[in-house]
Amino acid sequence: MARRRVAWVAALAAALTFSGAVAAKPKPKPLLPKQPTQEQIQAAYDRGRATGNWKLVRAAEHFDNGGGAALSAPLVAPPSRIATPPAHEDSALRAKLAVIGRHFNGWAAFWVHDLRTGTYAGWNSDAQFPSASIGKVAVLVAGIADYGYGPGSPLDYDMRQIGSISSNLAANHIFEQVGAAKVDEALQHLGMPSTRYVGLYRTAASVGDVQKAPPSVHWGVTTAHDLGRAFLRLQAAAGGHAWAIAKLGLSREQATAALGYLRLHEVGPSLLAPPPGAVLAEKDGWISDARGSAAVAYTRNGPKIVIVLTYRPGVSDTEAKALGAKVSRLVFATR
């Protein structure tokens, strides 16, 4: 009996070895090549989003921005509904902004609007600057208009990625879903006639307050004044102002959601230095030669729109943030 058992065990071991059952498992096929092209990365993200393959989405995000944030935070309504349209220019503030702008080593532009009093000031505000990621406000609005917002929207994840980490993959995905015409329409509704979205041609040129326009080396451009109008319309529509709802083409709830997505922004890239306790709905942009921030800052003295744009080949975060800090000290000290 013992001999039979030994023989049976030996035969089983031999069979397992022969069949390869104890052989090493083959390595899983990588989701993307080691050095994928931008087209391959975007295609993987789009395919992953379409099929619900989150491993593929994460793999694509790893190559684009180090990984997307898994966000479930609610889209919080703005702390204030105040949105007084620009009524009178603060000439003293404009003069001070001009001094700051002219002393910057490069090109700069500013727009400031106190939504409580209606006073405003700008400098070089109609000059076209590289939009970098700030222009994604338009694709965010187009996505909300066509697909809604929140957990019920198929684009909620992508809109959260735009709001939080300014994902290029997410912006491109929404652009592909809504189409160029819808993004162009969103730019018009936002009041951005001098803005050209990356990949979307617009013929409008900047006119008005152009003191020092940077060279035209980028396809995607915007102006501080355009961004000021866009954030005003979002704030006013979220506050229930009928004129803004009509111009924006979004409901009050949709405009509130747009600001809610922008509340998810990371603080790191911001050029602004708001006072303690301030809450910001903000979109930042950064590329090798441009840095910019656009925000509604909700302070204890009321909400203010603040736009800071910079351009210079090789401009650093340190330089741009130093400029933003100067503007912030000036603006947030204004009552």
The pLDDT value given to residue 15: 47
Task: Divide the 335 residues of the chain into consecutive groups of 10 and give the mean pLDDT of each group.
Answer: 49 47 63 86 94 93 75 87 97 98 97 98 96 94 98 95 92 94 96 82 41 62 97 98 97 98 89 95 94 97 97 95 97 76
Question: What domains can be seen in the chain, in order of their start residue?
Answer: 2-65 (no CATH), 88-332 (3.40.710.10)
pLDDT of residue 205: 37
- CB environment 205-238: b (16+ within 10 A), e (fewer): ebeebebebbeeebebbbbbbbbbbbbbbbbbbb
Q: Which two tokens stand for residue 16?
A: 């397992």
Counting DSSP H helices and E strands in the chain, the numbers are 12, 8
Please give the model's pTM, rounded to 2 decimal places: 0.86
Asked if residues 305 and 228 have their Cβ atoms less than 8 Å apart, the reply is yes
